[in-house]
Amino acid sequence: MIDVKFLRENPEIVKENIRKKFQDVKLPLVDEVIEYDEKSRTAQGEADQLRAERKKLSKEIGKLMGQAKKDPSKMALVDEVKAKVNQMAERLEELDAIKKEADEIVLKDMMVIPNIIDPSVPIGPDDTHNVEIQKYGEPVVPDFDIPYHTDIMDTFDGIDLDSAGRVSGNGFYYLMGDIARLHSAVLSYARDFMIGKGFNYHIPPFMIRSAVVSGVMSFAEMDAMMYKIEGEDLYLIGTSEHSMIGKFIDQIIPEEKLPQTLTSYSPCFRKEKGAHGIEERGVYRIHQFEKQEMIVVCKPEESMEWYDKLWSYTVEIFRSMDIPVRTLECCSGDLADLKVKSCDVEAWSPRQKKYFEVGSCSNLGDAQARRLKIRVNGADGKKYLAHTLNNTVVASPRMLIAFLENNLQADGSVKIPVVLRPYMGGMEVMMPKH
């Protein structure tokens, strides 16, 4: 969410940003915000003046009452002043109602007007216009066929989708044996990798209140992703970023305690609304998965430096597991409304002979901080809004797809990279059961 003062003073910049995001339907909202912001401020100004006058008159009534005790003829003047004060009270109620209605309209509109994107963001209507930045590692297509990822897992007796379907429906799974162990090993390695980078490890709440949900994401994202707990003001998290950023709601952080660098593990729950055809056989797009996340809360002038660090960590961890990756700059139309800049990390799929998304890094500027009132107490005593960033370390089981395809050998075994062997009991190769 941008600053209403910025919108008021720069309406054309805000409108041009809306056009760059191909959301022209939102253009009238800018003028509506300006109109109702003016109504609110006018009502506030008149109310402030009336309160000052009423305060003076209230003091005057006290003096007149004292005089009326000596001279009863002055009671008429007392009644006249009291009537004026009552009129003022009625007008104040009217003004408060006008301001409240105007503020509600302004807030509703501001919550859907997109954040100002960084000038470096490529312009395009959708993800087909995202721009490749760089490749890391040589994408290899072996001289043997790579089976579908669930077929690889089946050779290790590592997945049961049929039972999961009976228990929970499509979009769920059982992982078993060495595949389940591999899943946990990668998450443990990712945890220790981020701790080694100086990040503070957290296990956060897996449910959050609506005030946090509306603070960390757009309404469109919320509707497409979040599961609501019936009868409670609670939602299941779609990523631990939600509860980790929510940790700072209504907080004033001393500047010397920045940056806050955090890494968190959590299960994640997503409706995947609009994702036509949740893959019934596969585990690429699912309703429940586990993820290691990284989150940074920092000073505004440091956020772009942290943005580059965060996505580079994801590249580093995937390369350490012998998985080729590339980074892809998200274009304007592919950015969620709160994001200033974002890039995806994509892993190579030797089976599909193309890259697919395994992580996303985002700089949200001060948008989340403004919604959640996350402020910094500067060295000069002045308070300002923090910047927030988030990035995927690894998300499983999507990560398992990349891992299995890139480490599969011709005999059906799967090579375990050196970095994972301590988490797999020293195992160097996973041998299939059949």
378 φψ region: left (φ > 0), alpha (ψ -120 to 50), beta (else): beta
Predicted confidence band of residue 84 (pLDDT cuts 50, 70, 90): confident
Say what the pLDDT of residue 276 is.
45
4-110: CATH architecture? Orthogonal Bundle (1.10)
Higher pLDDT, 276 or 117: 117
Q: Residues of CATH 1.10.287.40 domain(s) within the chain? A: 4-110
Contact (CB, 8 A) for 123 and 99: no
| Bridge partners of residue 363, in order along the sequence | 341, 389
Question: Average of pLDDT values for 30-41?
Answer: 97
pLDDT of residue 280: 46
pLDDT of 95? 95
- pLDDT at position 300 over 60: yes
pLDDT digits (tens, 9 = 90+) for 206-226: 999 999 998 998 777 777 789
Give per-residue pLDDT as tens, 339-380.
Answer: 999 999 999 999 999 999 999 999 999 999 999 999 999 999
Q: How many CB atoms lie within 10 A of CB 16?
A: 13
Query: For 233-259, what is the mean pLDDT?
Result: 96
Which residues of the chain does CATH 3.30.930.10 include? 127-430
CA-wise closest residue to 110 among 363, 343, 367, 387: 367
CA angle in degrees (0–180, nearest 5) for 403-408-411? 160
According to the model, what pLDDT value does residue 74 have?
63
> What's domain 127-430's architecture?
2-Layer Sandwich (3.30)
pLDDT at 284: 86
Contact, 50 vs 141, CB < 8 A? no
Is the pLDDT score of 265 beyond 60?
yes
pTM higher than 0.85, yes or no?
A: yes
Output phi, psi for 345, to 5 deg.
-105, 125
Strands, DSSP E only, in 77-155? Answer: 131-136
pLDDT at residue number 77: 66
